[in-house]
Structure 1
Amino acid sequence: MEKYCVFGGFGFIGQYIVNQLRSEGHRVVVIGSKMRNIEDYYHWGGLTYLKLEQIMEKVDGVINLAYASTPKTSFDDPITDIKDNLPSVINFLEWMSMFSVKRIVMVSTGGAIYGNTNENPISETAATNPISPYGITKLAVEKYAAMYYGHKKLPVITVRPGNAYGIGQSPFLGQGFIATATYSILEKKEMKIFGKNGTVRDYIHVKDVAEGIIAALKKGKIGETYNIGTGRGVTTKYVFDYISKVAAKAGYIVPKVKNAKLRPFDVRKNVLDSSKLKSDTGWHSQITLEDGIKEYWNHSLKDYNAKSIERVMWV
């Protein structure tokens, strides 16, 4: 049994990583930003150096998913995006450099870090020209991690996931189009698509993302950067149309779709080449977009109906 520490382990992707590692028989310590009375969970804000030193004793690997913003929120308030993310990440890297950690995975973004490019699928060697404060800050985090690797030999591996989706993702948060489209249909809300057919994205199931991150943690080469995607790009219109077909079979009427102009931070097309991760670790995505959408719809429909019954009972 190995011991791992996951920062941000109660987030959307983090929960899948923690559950997967624990299912393999490993001990997993989670450090997060909210107070929870759970075994092997610690609140980042209340940690002292001595306590973290105890937590990090005999840790085989660390995954850092902690991040406080999205592309939209970063664009709305770029100063807060910097203040809420960069100091804590640098503090994390500084502290990690004081411990004997074997491997550290920094979770970046494949969806925002490259910006608009003619290279699709995009390899890790492509130019990084982010067009949102979120992408710029993520790139800064990568550069700091690379600096600590170069100057202090911190064993850092960076991963850039595509657009993750799946059970557990909440709608209407400014990211997570599949979740928002699904609940827009369930709640009969008007759906907004930016651009005539929307943007092109590499949607990847959260289970595949989690397994890709774990693969990088266990088998990735220290100092390297890896994309985690499917290599398939589809428009947001295609995704909404497919969800609509699934919903129609369940008797749901598709709400009105409103087309809006692309926002300044919307990358037009983003599809990731993950052949490097496959070559180094053997990982590859396994869940098709269509199967993942059906899974999310069926789960959301059941959950939505259950909550509707609960509301009726309490009226």
Structure 2
Amino acid sequence: MVGNRCLLLGGGGFIGQNLTELLLDFGYSVTVFDRNLESKCVPLLKKVAYIEGDFFQQEHYAELLRNQDFVIHLISSVGPSSSMNFANKPYEQDVLKSIQLLDDCRKAGINRVIFLSSGGTVYGQRIEQSILKEDVDITNPINHYGIMKLTIEKIVLMYNELYNMENIVLRVANPYGKGQNTNKKIGAVSIFLDNILNNRPINLYGVGDTVRDYIDVSDVCEGIRAAINYQINDVIVPIFNIGTGKGYSLVDVIRLIEEVTQKKASIVFEEKRAIDVMYNVLDPLKSEKQLGFKANTLLSEGIRKLYAN
């Protein structure tokens, strides 16, 4: 057991807020660290310790790590698209500060950092349309965001080898659900639903045949919870897909939302982008066998749940 005191880096974000609620339900002591908590409209829960600050501006993390048992690292300075406009940022900020975090964890005697990577970008483009396996498929990202995530993965696992840490990498599919901020232009399901409900057009790059694995945020949080107490061994590489194993094209997603809302979407087709992977569906079998985790929410059910909110 790793203990029940958790430092949640980026806890004010979409996944972080949902995860905080789940961890509290299971008796964890949660400290949320994030910037601009008020502007993010983070609901301040009584049993949670909130610390406001900028992960990338911290000189060190020793004080944050005091009296913590493990860390969940959700923070990223860029997304897939914005990383191409600010190419230096993910390396100068995310990679370097993640190294510092791992060093400070090691010195503080914290053996477990759970790092949320990107199942949607680290694998990259491929010819065949088959579900992606952590220990089989090569990783060849085609944007700086994916390369940054993959680089941090390697560093996280290096600390396991060199310093006997028990860090875990979770490659999360495309999350959607309660509390996702559509203004950030990330999260096709949430954005498409918001646009349809507000009679705004949906812009699709290409013909809408890009296939993705979409996972409800409640399932993402269950996957993280399953990883907290996972017993690492020398045989299994602690990298796990957190996905559903089911793929939907962008057009499929729009049609499902139309069925739920009984509203017709207005679609504007634009030129295909080189940074977009055409097919990305994650094999969930390793997570099922090792973590005991399986996503339970069908996309149609998740859309209905989001629409009801």
Q: Does 1:106 align with 2:120?
A: no
* Structure 2: gaps (5+ residues): none
SS of residue matched to 1:97:
helix
Matched letter for residue 133 of structure 2: S
Q: Does 1:278 align with 2:288?
A: yes
Per-residue deviation, 1:144: 1.4
Q: Is the 8 A contact 2:111 2:167 kept in 1?
A: no
CA distance in 2, matches of 1:234, 1:136: 24
Matched letter for residue 293 of structure 2: W
The residue aligned with 2:219 is: 208
CA distance in 1, matches of 2:16, 2:206: 31
Q: Does 1:160 align with 2:171?
A: yes
CA distance in 2, matches of 1:142, 1:217: 17
The residue aligned with 1:305 is: none
Question: How many residue pairs end up in the alignment?
Answer: 292
Which is worse superposed, 220-229 or 196-205? 220-229
Pairwise mapping of residues 65-144 of structure 1 onto structure 2 (< 5 A)?
A: 65-117=74-126, 118=128, 120-125=130-135, 126-144=137-155
CA distance in 1, matches of 2:195, 2:106: 45
Bigger radius of gyration among the two: 1
Matched letter for residue 33 of structure 1: R
Per-residue deviation, 1:163: 0.4
Q: Tell me the C-alpha RMSD between the 2 structures.
A: 2.0
The residue aligned with 1:239 is: 253
CA distance in 1, matches of 2:4, 2:148: 32
The residue aligned with 1:62 is: 71
Q: Is the 8 A contact 1:72 1:174 kept in 2?
A: no
Matched letter for residue 107 of structure 1: L
Deviations 1:274-310 (A, max 9, x none): 11111112110111100100111222xxxxxxxxxxx
CA distance in 1, matches of 2:61, 2:18: 28
CA distance in 2, matches of 1:87, 1:271: 30
Matched letter for residue 56 of structure 1: R
Per-residue deviation, 1:50: 5.1
CA distance in 1, matches of 2:247, 2:8: 30
Q: TM-score, normalised by structure 1?
A: 0.87
Per-residue deviation, 1:33: 2.9
Pairwise mapping of residues 181-220 of structure 1 onto structure 2 (< 5 A)?
A: 181-219=192-230
Q: Is the 8 A contact 1:122 1:273 kept in 2?
A: yes
Per-residue deviation, 1:129: 0.3
Which is worse superposed, 224-233 or 82-91? 82-91
Per-residue deviation, 1:47: 7.0
Deviations 1:183-208 (A, max 9, x none): 11122111111222331000000000
Task: Give the alignment partner of residue 40 of structure 1, picking from 43, 46, 49.
Answer: 49
CA distance in 2, matches of 1:213, 1:50: 24
Identity of aligned residues (%): 30
* Structure 1: gaps (5+ residues): 300-315
Pairwise mapping of residues 299-310 of structure 1 onto structure 2 (< 5 A)?
A: 299=309
The residue aligned with 1:224 is: 238
Q: Is the 8 A contact 2:60 2:104 kept in 1?
A: no
Q: Is the 8 A contact 1:101 1:155 kept in 2?
A: no
Which is worse superposed, 29-38 or 209-218? 29-38
CA distance in 1, matches of 2:36, 2:111: 27
CA distance in 2, matches of 1:245, 1:35: 36
Q: Is the 8 A contact 1:115 1:267 kept in 2?
A: yes
CA distance in 2, matches of 1:100, 1:186: 49
CA distance in 1, matches of 2:189, 2:11: 22
SS of residue matched to 2:115:
strand
CA distance in 1, matches of 2:153, 2:300: 32
Q: Is the 8 A contact 1:220 1:277 kept in 2?
A: no
